[in-house]
Structure 1
Amino acid sequence: MMDKASSIKKVFISTHPFGEISSKPLDLLEAQGISYGLNPYGRKITTSELATQIKDCDALIAGTEIIDSSVFENAPNLKLISRVGIGLDGIDFDLAKMHDVKIAFTPDAPTLAVAELCIGLMFDCLRMITATDRHLREGKWHRHMGGLLYGKTVGIIGMGRIGKTLAHLLQPFNVKIMANDIEPDMAFGHMMGIEWVDKRTLLENSDVISLNVPLTKSTYHLVDDKAIEKMKPTAILINTARGPIVDESALVDALQQGMIAGAAVDVFENEPYDGPLNQCETVVLTCHMGASTKESRQRMELEATDEIIRYNSNEKLKNEVLF
C-alpha cells in the first residue's frame, strides 16, 4: 500500500456538467477549503485527458469515463474516487487496490430517474410516438396502430434498485412481471406478485424486456443473436443499463429483419454514438440520459461531494465500494 497524507486539498471533477443545476456541491468544497478543477472540455473526458488533468489532485469526482493505469500512475496523491452515479464498470478495481484508492458511488440518487425513463421508453415504443413525430415533421400524416402496456407481460432482467423501482411503477398497468436475477429477493417478489424465471423463459414470454443489470464479464453481450432469436416477434427491448450488455450488431440485424417489433436504447458500446442503429426505423435512441433529471443530478452531485467531505473529516464513507 502507498503511504499517503490523509487530507484532501484538491479535487478534479471529470464528470460534465457539474454544479450547473445548483452550486451547492462546489460551495461545500470551498467551505472545506478544498480547491477543485472542472472538466474543461464541455463533454465526456477521455482517459488520456483525465490522466493529464488529475496529476496534482487528491480526489476525483468521476463520471462514466475509463479510469485505467494511465490515470492511477499520473495521480500519485489520489486517495478517493467518488463516482457520480451507479455504474462502476469504468474503474479498474485491481489498480485502485494496488494504489490504495478508495471508491464511493451514489447508487440511490439515479434510481427513480432511470426507472421512469424505462416506463417512458416502453410507451414510446408501444405507441410509436417518436416514429409518428418524425413522420409528421416529414409531412406524413399516418396514425400508427400501437399497443397497450396495460395487461402485457414485462420481463425485467436485473432486480436491483432500478429493477425493483420499475416493478413498483408498473403496478397500475396490471402487467405480469417476470424477473431474472442472480440473487432473487423472494420476499420482494412475493409482495409484488413477481414470477422468478430463467432467462430463456423470460425472453420467450415477455412482451417488453427491460435490461437493468450492471456491466460485468457475465453480462457482456447478455443479449446476443441467440437471445434475440428466443424473443417474440412482437417484443420490445429496452436497454437503459450499459451498452455492451447488448450485441449492437445483432440488434441491428434483428430490427432490420423484423425479428422483434422494436427497441429503445439509451446506452451504447461507444459513446457518443454514431452507428447503424441510427438507420433503423423501429428503434428509439437517447443519449445516456437515464439519470438526467434535475432532481437526480443534483442529488448525485451532492452525494458524491459529501463523500469527499466525509473522507476529509475521517468519517466513514456512506457508500464505499468494498473490493
Structure 2
Amino acid sequence: MNGEPNMVDERKSVVVTQKFFDGETIRFLEENGCDVTVARFPEGVTDATAGEAELIALLAEADAWIVGHAQVTLSLLQALPRLKIVARRGVGYEKVDLDAARQTGKVVTIAAGGNEESVADRTLALMLGVAHRLRESQQQLIDGPGAILLGHDLYARTVGIIGLGRIARNVVRRLKAFDATVLVHTPRPDPAYADAMGVEYVDLDTLLERADFVSLHAPFKPETKHLINAGRLALMKPDAFLINTGRGGLVDDRALLAALQEERLGGAGLDVFESEANPALADVTRELVRRPDVVATPHSGASTHEGLRRTNQVAARCVVSVLNDQEPPSGCLIVGHSRLRPVY
C-alpha cells in the first residue's frame, strides 16, 4: 500500500466489525503497530443488527473501530472511553451520531476514494439492465419460448444526474462514452467542470422533465428525504427510468411503486430502498423487486472484490494516521479534534 504513515509508537487494538476484510489490509495494520480483531457474528447477524451490549463487549479494549453499518450512538461511545477513532468502511456516515462523537472526543472518518468506481459501474449496469429489459428477457428464456422484447438505448439519450460528488462524476465520465447528453442538478455548480465535461446545470424540475434516465447521487439529509416524491415522479417522462444507487430515503418508495403500477414510468434500477432504515416498508420493497420493470440489487453497488479492497485500505490508512495524531487521507475526516480538522 502506497503512502504509508509512520508506525504507531506502541501496539494498538483495532476491531473490525465489517465483513470481507482482506488479508493484505490486516497485514498493513499489523506492520504499522496494530493488533487486529475481525468480529465474527452469527449467521444472519451483522454489525447493523448486533445489539449495543454486544458491540460494547467487542470494542471494550479497542483503540480503533472499522465499522460497517452499525448505529453509532452517544450511549455506545460513552461506554468506550479508550476508543479514539470510528472509521467507516464506506462514504456514508448518516448512522454515526456526529454530535456524540464530538462530545466524547472521537474522530470519525470515511473511506473517501475507495468505492466510487464500483458504484459508478453499478449505476451504469442498472441503467443498461432496466432499459434493455435484461431481467424480463432472461425470464422469457427460462419460461420459453424466448420472445424478443424491445428495450431502449442508453446511447445518445439524455441522462439527469442529481448530486455531483465523486460517484456522480465517475458516472458522468462513463456516460460520455455513450454520447449521452448529461444534465446535472447540484447546489454547488462548478462552471469549470461543466466546460471540461460538457454537462449542463439545470434546476431539478427541468432535469426531471427532460431526462430519459434520472440517477440519484445526492447525500441523504433531512432536507433531501423524499427528494423524489409523487409530485416529482409525475414530472418524468412516462418511458423514463429512475436509478438510485445513493440512499433509499431519497425516494418515496410508495410513490415510486404507484408510478410503476400505473405505467407512468418506464422502470427503475434500484440498489437502495427505504426499508433499509424503516422495516415497516419491507412490503413495499418486496413489491418493487418482484416487478419485471425493476432491476434491483441489495445495496451492494460497492461490493466488488476490488472496491472492498480499496475501501478497506483507505479505512486502515485513516486508522493508522489518527492513532499517530496525523491527518488522515484527503477527504476522509468528518469529525476531528484540535489537531485534526475535518474537511466537511
Question: Does the TM-score normalized on the shorter chain lie above 0.5?
Answer: yes
Kindly provide the amino acid, as one letter, of the partner of residue 96 in structure 2.
Answer: I
Equivalents in 1 of 2:178, 2:30: separation in Å?
Answer: 47
Kindly provide the amino acid, as one letter, of the partner of residue 260 in structure 2.
Answer: L
Residue pair 1:51, 1:70 contacting (<8 A) in 2 also:
no
Equivalenced residue count is 315
Counterpart for residue 295 of structure 1: 306
Equivalents in 2 of 1:301, 1:185: separation in Å?
Answer: 31
Counterpart for residue 289 of structure 2: 278
Q: What is the CA distance between 1:140 and its match in structure 2?
A: 4.4
Equivalents in 1 of 2:323, 2:177: separation in Å?
Answer: 45
Kindly provide the amino acid, as one letter, of the partner of residue 142 in structure 1.
Answer: A
Equivalents in 1 of 2:145, 2:227: separation in Å?
Answer: 38
| Aligned 1:5-44 pairs, distance under 5 A | 9-19=12-22, 23-41=23-41, 43-44=45-46
Residue pair 1:51, 1:71 contacting (<8 A) in 2 also:
yes
Q: Which runs of 5+ in 1 are unaligned?
A: 1-5
Task: State yes or no: 1:64 paired with 2:64.
Answer: no
Task: State yes or no: 1:306 paired with 2:306.
Answer: no
- Runs of 4+ in structure 1 displaced over 6 angstroms? none
3-state DSSP class of the match of 2:274?
coil
Counterpart for residue 5 of structure 2: none
Task: State yes or no: 1:139 paired with 2:150.
Answer: no
Task: State yes or no: 1:197 paired with 2:202.
Answer: yes
| Between 92-101 and 284-293, the greater mean CA deviation after superposition | 284-293
Counterpart for residue 164 of structure 1: 169
Kindly provide the amino acid, as one letter, of the partner of residue 173 in structure 1.
Answer: F
Residues 172-219 of structure 1 deviation map (CA, whole Å, 9 limit, x = unaligned): 211111100011111101221111000000011100000011111121
Counterpart for residue 176 of structure 1: 181
Kindly provide the amino acid, as one letter, of the partner of residue 24 in structure 2.
Answer: K
3-state DSSP class of the match of 2:275?
coil
3-state DSSP class of the match of 1:82?
strand
Kindly provide the amino acid, as one letter, of the partner of residue 100 in structure 2.
Answer: L
Computed over aligned residues only, the root mean square deviation of the Cα atoms, in angstroms, reads 1.9
TM, length-normalised to structure 1:
0.92
| Between 90-99 and 6-15, the greater mean CA deviation after superposition | 6-15
Residue pair 2:289, 2:295 contacting (<8 A) in 1 also:
no
Equivalents in 2 of 1:79, 1:24: separation in Å?
Answer: 23
Equivalents in 2 of 1:7, 1:124: separation in Å?
Answer: 51
Q: What is the CA distance between 1:52 and its match in structure 2?
A: 3.9
Equivalents in 2 of 1:191, 1:51: separation in Å?
Answer: 49
3-state DSSP class of the match of 1:37?
strand
Kindly provide the amino acid, as one letter, of the partner of residue 266 in structure 2.
Answer: A
Counterpart for residue 82 of structure 2: 77
| Aligned 1:309-320 pairs, distance under 5 A | 309-318=320-329, 319-320=332-333
